Amino acid sequence: MWRCRPPHTSIDGAGGLATVPLPLPAERHPRSAGCSSGPRPCLQQGRQQFRQPARHCPQATSGLDTMTERFGGPEEIYDVYVNQPEPLEEGVEKHVISVFVADESGIINRVAGVFARRGANIESLAVGLNIDKALFTIVVAGTQSVVANLVKQLAKLVKVRYVEDITHGERVERELVLFKIRAPPGPTRMEVLQLVEIFRARVADVSERSVTLGVTGDAGKTTAMERALSKFGILEIARTGKISLKRGSALLQMGGWGDSSTRREHQARGAAEQPQAASAEGLPGSEPDVYMVDEHGGEGVWQVDNLLDAPTYAGEFEPHTLSIEVEDRPGVLNQVTGVLARRGYNVQSLAVGHSEVEGQSRITTVIPGSPEATAKLVKQLNKLVYVLKVTDLSAAPFVKRELALIKVRCEAAQRRELSDLAAIFHGTICDVSLSTVTLEMQGKETKIGALQGLLAPYGILEVARTGRVALARDSGVDTRFLQRMKGSRVML
- pLDDT value, residue 147: 93
Cα separations in angstroms, 197 against 15, 206, 207: 56, 16, 19
Which DSSP letter does residue 316 get? S
CA neighbor of 474 nearest in space, from 177, 176, 179: 179
Sheet holding 122-130, edge to edge: 160-165, 93-102, 133-142, 122-130, 349-354, 360-369, 318-327, 387-392
Could you tell me which residues come within 8 angstroms of residue 244 by beta carbon, excluding any fewer than 6 positions away? 96, 98, 137, 166, 171, 172, 173, 174, 405, 464
% of the chain beyond a pLDDT of 70: 68
- pLDDT value, residue 88: 82
Is the pLDDT at 152 greater than 90? The verdict is yes
Which contacts (CB < 8 Å, 24+ apart) does range 378-384 have? 378/322, 380/339, 381/322, 381/324, 381/336, 381/339, 384/332, 384/335, 384/336, 384/339
Residues forming a β-bridge with 178 = 214, 238
CA neighbor of 126 nearest in space, from 413, 316, 352: 352
CA neighbor of 68 nearest in space, from 3, 7, 4: 7
Residues forming a β-bridge with 400 = 470
CA angle 320, 324, 330 (to 5 degrees): 130
Region 394-408: mean pLDDT is: 92
Could you tell me which residues come within 8 angstroms of residue 29 by beta carbon, excluding any fewer than 6 positions away? 59, 62, 63
Could you tell me which residues come within 8 angstroms of residue 465 by beta carbon, excluding any fewer than 6 positions away? 126, 127, 128, 130, 134, 135, 243, 349, 402, 403, 404, 405, 448
- 489: pLDDT confidence band, cut at 50, 70 and 90? low
Contact in structure between 82 and 45 (CB atoms under 8 Å): no
Which DSSP letter does residue 208 get? S
Is the pLDDT at 365 greater than 80? The verdict is yes
Phi and psi torsions of 303, nearest 5°: -100, 10
Could you tell me which residues come within 8 angstroms of residue 151 by beta carbon, excluding any fewer than 6 positions away? 97, 163, 164, 165
Contact in structure between 340 and 347 (CB atoms under 8 Å): yes
Question: H helices of 386-476, where?
Answer: 415-424, 445-455
- pLDDT value, residue 347: 83
Residue type present at position 396: A
- pLDDT value, residue 472: 93
Could you tell me which residues come within 8 angstroms of residue 130 by beta carbon, excluding any fewer than 6 positions away? 306, 463, 465
Q: d(Cα 15, Cα 388) in Å, to the nearest integer?
A: 52
CA neighbor of 122 nearest in space, from 420, 426, 293, 363: 363
Number of alpha carbons in the 13 Å side-chain half-sphere of residue 212: 21
Query: pTM for the full model?
Result: 0.72
- 15: pLDDT confidence band, cut at 50, 70 and 90? very low
Region 57-76: mean pLDDT is: 45
Is the pLDDT at 410 greater than 80? The verdict is yes
The distance from CA 247 to its chain's CA centroid, rounded to whole angstroms, is 21
Region 462-471: mean pLDDT is: 91
% of the chain beyond a pLDDT of 90: 43
Q: d(Cα 463, Cα 445) in Å, to the nearest integer?
A: 13
Phi and psi torsions of 437, nearest 5°: -140, 135
Contact in structure between 108 and 302 (CB atoms under 8 Å): no
Residues 196-206 have pLDDT tens digits of 999 999 999 99
Region 375-399: mean pLDDT is: 93
Contact in structure between 445 and 468 (CB atoms under 8 Å): yes
Could you tell me which residues come within 8 angstroms of residue 266 by beta carbon, excluding any fewer than 6 positions away? 251, 254, 255, 256
Question: H helices of 274-327, where?
Answer: none
Region 371-380: mean pLDDT is: 92
Number of alpha carbons in the 13 Å side-chain half-sphere of residue 376: 6
Is the pLDDT at 348 greater than 80? The verdict is yes
CA angle 372, 396, 124 (to 5 degrees): 85
Region 273-277: mean pLDDT is: 37
- pLDDT value, residue 432: 94
- pLDDT value, residue 78: 40
> Pick the residue with more confidence: 440 or 28?
440
| Of the candidate ranges 104-113, 138-147, 277-286, 348-357, the one whose mean pLDDT is the lowest | 277-286
Residue type present at position 428: T
The distance from CA 12 to its chain's CA centroid, rounded to whole angstroms, is 56
- pLDDT value, residue 48: 40
